[in-house]
A and B are shown apart, each in its own frame.
Chain A
Amino acid sequence: MPRKITRRDLLTSAAGAVGAASITTSGAHAQTTDTTKRPGALAGERGTRSAHEQAIRRVSTARSSSQTPLQDLHGTITPSDLHFERHHAGIPTIDPDEYALLIHGMVDRPTILTLADLKRFPATSRICFVECSGNYLRDAGPETKPEQVCGRTSSTEWTGVSLATLLREVGAGPDATWLLAEGQDAAVMTRSVPMKKARDDAMVVYAQNGEALRPAQGYPARLLLPGWEGNSNVKWLRRIELADRPFMTREETSKYTDPLADGTARQFSFVFDARSIITSPAYPEVVEPGWVEIRGLAWSGRGAIAQVDISTDGGRSWQVAGLQGPVLPQAHIRFRYLWRWDGTASEIMSRAVDETGYVQPTRDALIAARGRRARGYHLNPITAWRIEPSGQVYYREERPWDG
């Protein structure tokens, strides 16, 4: 039974609101413009953010990537214009009327589809994250923000056509085991994708968060492989070729592979393991003693997040955080944990567990498995924030990876 709301409750809250308003009109904190005394701006064709909101992406020196400001966002959906970007040869400018997708190879009917053709097929939407294969700042200093630690991950709603539908349309051969996805950028980016994934949940998407893809996200159409490393989600998709073996492109041999401590190198390591990061409190925040809601994001390419654990004592003890539903597979999930900070030096960290039972590893465990010469790909360690008695939050430094 919901609690009955009494007239007294409402009067109390209404009186509080009036009291707050009176401060802005006559008190010491009066605003320079009383918005209640003159009409506001009129309707516009396209909305803009408040001039007071400054969330922007962090752009790399070479301007070949930018990172989502994770610490500035709420909930789980990344605004399209703050979705991270990564490109190997710039963002192509493609006329949608000239766009064509060629599907050929081991198919009965080699076919060319226009953008309008793609939109005629049954549409489907899903929310999922896309993450850059290289998304961990190793050896970071104390003045490091969440966007620097792992800002090359973003979560949005994608709309397009199921790749399985297109494969059926062209008569994909039963003996095809791999396909090549190729982009229309100046890198003519190529990756081999197993047909099982192509038939399972892959999509060719033309929309993001309700509107056409942004150019940096592959306009007018890209491949979407939920939960798989960003590089394989080929943008500006122009060609799909079916074959009975992988194509061994540069990106899946000399790049995006994982040297391991035992002297072998892991290839085709597409799936992102579970990961999480506390986005608040985090550097450069300053917190006050008392109640602090620890907030962050968790995600796994292997499926749905099952649990997120929080430690406020540097990993000695762990408590279970609350997960904001709906807990979608292969999507950013918001976790929250209410904590009463006593003002003493503290270390807070999060640890994600997914539905397969995979537990986000420590940095030391990753170093042990991947070795001193691990490259920057597929690193998902637990990271921590250090809170000083002053309330200043810093990234907890680690010993050098290569040390």
Chain B
Amino acid sequence: MGRLTEPVAVVARLLTVLVAGCAAPDTDVQETALTSMPTPTSSSDTMPDQFGFGRPATHEEIAAWDIDVMADGAGLPDGEGTAESGGPIYARQCAACHGTEGEGRTAAPLVGYEPESTPPFGPRYEAWRGEGDDVPFTVGNYWPYATTLYDYIYRAMPSSAPGSLEPDEVYSLVAWILAENAFITDDAVMNATTLPAVEMPAREIFVPQPLP
């Protein structure tokens, strides 16, 4: 037991300091430090209007990345396509994942506008469905804007080679999906003017959350 005495004494001193609160600063050194240096001024509220970091983006650089398409059609490029021209492209690029008729396989179903003019949920849907099977959420019953199809396909599809489709191909695929959902005819030409005008039944069901 005797050899424990010394370590215990050290621990006891340390604990006494800790229990008494944090060790007090060395007053002599602190006073010296404060008197030998100029008083600091605040710098946190003197941000410049501009730091001048970075460099101007050129029109070409912006154009290369600015691929988004808005609901009113802003951003849609030149080009066009129909469901007829889209069929073969769909079969080649999309059917393996989305199904030959757009019914969905490993990827989401694209076709299905049942029940007509009613979203796939809510009181009217439940009344329509009765004891029948549920229908999936699709472009036909849950996509509010046709332009979003163009934006998404052009940027992200097909998933094995995203960004590889030309505008004419994308317009054709959009036309095929819209025609399969019976929103346009097979020979309707989709382009920067006609696509934003396609009315999507799901448009009316979306209510923006009041933003905080």
Contacts and interface: CB of A to CB of B under 8 A. Distances in A.
Interface of A: 2, 5, 7, 10-11, 14, 88-89, 102-104, 109-114, 117, 120-122, 165, 168-169, 180, 182, 186-188, 190, 194, 196-197, 238-239, 241, 243, 245, 247-250, 253-254, 257, 259-271, 302, 371-373, 375
A94 B125 CA distance: 46
A111 B55 contact: yes
Contacts of A110: 56-57, 62
Nearest to B72: A245
A263 B119 contact: yes
B211 A104 contact: no
Contacts of A372: 121, 126
A1 to B, nearest CB: 10
Contacts, number: 171
B158 to A, nearest CB: 11
Contacts of A182: 65, 68
A264 B121 CA distance: 8
Contacts of B68: 180, 182, 190, 241, 247, 249
Contacts of B145: 248, 253
B51 A121 contact: yes
Given A112-B54, A243-B70, 6 more contacts: A5-B19, A11-B8, A104-B57, A111-B56, A190-B155, A249-B68
Contact-size category for B: 35 or more
Contacts of B70: 243, 245, 247-248
B177 to A, nearest CB: 12
B169 to A, nearest CB: 17
A182 B152 CA distance: 12
Contacts of A180: 68
B2 interface: no
Contacts of A111: 54-57
B159 interface: yes
A122 B16 CA distance: 42
A263 B202 CA distance: 11
B113 interface: no
Interface string B150-194: 011001100100110000000000000000000000000000000
A270 B210 CA distance: 10
A11 B71 CA distance: 77
B207 interface: yes
> Which of B11, B49, B209 is most buried by chain A, counting CB atoms within 10 A of its CB?
B209
B66 interface: yes
> Which of B7, B53, B120, B137 is most buried by chain A, counting CB atoms within 10 A of its CB?
B53
Contacts of A261: 122-123
A169 B66 contact: no
A249 B53 contact: no
Contacts of A260: 121-122
B207 A267 contact: yes
Contact of B51 (A120, A188, A247, A302): A120
A5 B13 CA distance: 10
Contacts of B144: 248, 253-254
